[in-house]
Amino acid sequence: MGRLDSILIVGCGNMGGAMLRGWLAAGADPAGFTVVDPLLERAPDGVTVLRDLPDGAFDAVLLGVKPQGFSDVAAKLLAQLNPVTLVLSILAGIELDSLATALPQARGWVRIMPNLAAALGKSPMALAQRGLDQAGRDAVTALVTPLGTPEWIDEAQFDLATALVGSGPAFVYRFIDALAAGGATLGFTPEQAERLALAMVEGAAQLARQAPQSPADLARMVASPGGTTEAGLKVLDQDQALEKLILQTLRAARDRGAELAAFAASPKDT
């Protein structure tokens, strides 16, 4: 399998739109993308926007509809997929078994868990697959690399990936908001506190990504014995408070993802 040059995006909401913007920002040819979305008013220049599924084959189909709309979309796609088409899905709770059963004639099936930072090329991209050989995996990796950092995982880990990758930004935003609120309470204006908190987190994250040290080691490097950082870390580290809180947060998000997946997979009354 070579490059995936023609992509049909079925449902281009917030996440699908972020991925599309990320690809285009990285220099992808807009003519390689066709979007089917009855509600989308406009798309980036050069991208074809349709209300109904087109005729013709595509290298890959990216499913971005609401999970409850999967069955209807799959029924309409049956006549258009062929053995060289990959099915890519960002649908929460729709497992590879369901994708392969509903769209059996595809070359392979891939679940993708990105986040909205895909528009900036900064999203982790958790990937789980069925039916792909190494060439197929390489093609998918090459396709999503402009959106961030691909990581192939076992599908059994997908609910955890949803918690960490998909929900994780909201947890980080809450932490930034708490830093800003604390700074404002202690004397900064709210605007100053937010600007400083955002700039600090951006720089710290970039350094953590580039530094050879682990985040834990970087924290120790900042904290001089008896200094201000150590005083603050003692509050976070007391009784492993922060570690326990984050573990509870991720577990709650992961378990809810598993509940939603079970609901999506269960037979529905007609």
* Contact between 159 and 258 (Cβ < 8 Å): yes
Token digits of residue 42: 């406009």
Predicted TM-score (pTM) of this structure: 0.89
Amino acid identity, position 37: D
Q: How far apart are CA 80 and CA 157, in angstroms?
A: 31
Question: What are the two backbone dihedrals, phi and then psi, of residue 27, each rounded to the nearest 5 degrees?
Answer: 105, 10
Q: How far apart are CA 164 and CA 166, in angstroms?
A: 6
**With 90 as the cut, is the pLDDT of residue 47 above it?**
yes
Torsion of CA 8, 115, 151, 197, to 10 degrees: 150
pLDDT of residue 270: 38
Q: How far apart are CA 243 and CA 245, in angstroms?
A: 5
* Contact between 112 and 144 (Cβ < 8 Å): yes
Give the three-class secondary structure for 49. Answer: strand
pLDDT of residue 266: 67
Q: How far apart are CA 173 and CA 147, in angstroms?
A: 20
* pLDDT (tens digit per residue) in 102-134: 999 999 999 999 999 999 999 999 999 999 999
Q: What are the structural domains of the chain? A: 7-155 (3.40.50.720), 168-259 (1.10.3730.10)
Token digits of residue 175: 């932490």
* pLDDT (tens digit per residue) in 216-234: 999 999 999 999 999 999 9
In percent, the amount of the chain with pLDDT more than 90 equals: 83
Q: How far apart are CA 148 and CA 108, in angstroms?
A: 22
* Contact between 138 and 39 (Cβ < 8 Å): no
